[in-house]
Amino acid sequence: MLKTLQGIIRTGNATVKYPFAPIERPKDARGKPEHDLVNCMACGACAVACPPNAIQMVVDPQAQTTSWSINYGRCVYCGRCEEVCPTKALRLSAEFELAVMDKNDLEEICMYTLQPCAECGSPFAPAKEVDYAYRILTQFIDDPDAREAAGLVKVCPRCKQKRDSQRAKQGFGSLGGAS
């Protein structure tokens, strides 16, 4: 009995008062991913990297929008989304108390507009992503390749392909290959 009491006194308190008192979280604890909709350019890198598909993007060509959504019920707090986001629009916070009464409350969704092609008018990529690419390319405006790419950044891949094939045909013709 005495030995047991000595052991208890030596060990001290092995439990914590949580949830009646706040709990101390480890410095590198991974909690709820926080999404900054302003910094996000809807590039989709996080949706591709997310192992359980907690992040999803759905394109609606009719409405010329793409949705970005996260389901915290699926999230495994791995941090892959934070690692791959080029604009630091996703950060894992320390928040871990995510219980809700309605599972629909575990989902967050935001909408982004799509960029229409400068030639055919079809929406082809998130407008913010196109703008981001344009700003990057114009930083290298002395480079002819970057200048050409910046000029075509608002042209959809299909119209770029058409341009390339027309240019190839013209080149072929000027070599005397056309009959």
Summarize as ranges the residues that interact with ligand SF4 (CB under 6 A). Answer: 33, 40-46, 49-52, 54-55, 68, 70, 75-81, 84-85, 87, 89-90
Give whichever of 41 and 117 is closer to ligand SF4, judged by the CB atom.
41
Give whichever of 64 and 87 is closer to ligand SF4, judged by the CB atom.
87
Give whichever of 75 and 137 is closer to ligand SF4, judged by the CB atom.
75
Shortest distance (Å) from residue 22 CB to ligand SF4: 23
Contacts 24+ apart (CB under 8 A), 130-136: 130/154, 131/41, 132/41, 132/43, 132/86, 132/87
SS3 61: coil
Give whichever of 37 and 120 is closer to ligand SF4, judged by the CB atom.
37
Shortest distance (Å) from residue 162 CB to ligand SF4: 28
CA dist list (Å): 86 to 41, 45, 135, 142, 154: 9, 8, 14, 24, 20
Rounded to 5°, the CA angle 125-129-134 comes to: 110
Shortest distance (Å) from residue 30 CB to ligand SF4: 7
| Whether 98 contacts 32, CB under 8 Å | yes
Shortest distance (Å) from residue 75 CB to ligand SF4: 3
Give whichever of 45 and 117 is closer to ligand SF4, judged by the CB atom.
45
- List the strands of the sheet with 107-116, edge to edge: 55-60, 65-71, 107-116, 123-126
Give whichever of 83 and 143 is closer to ligand SF4, judged by the CB atom.
83
Shortest distance (Å) from residue 132 CB to ligand SF4: 8
Shortest distance (Å) from residue 15 CB to ligand SF4: 29
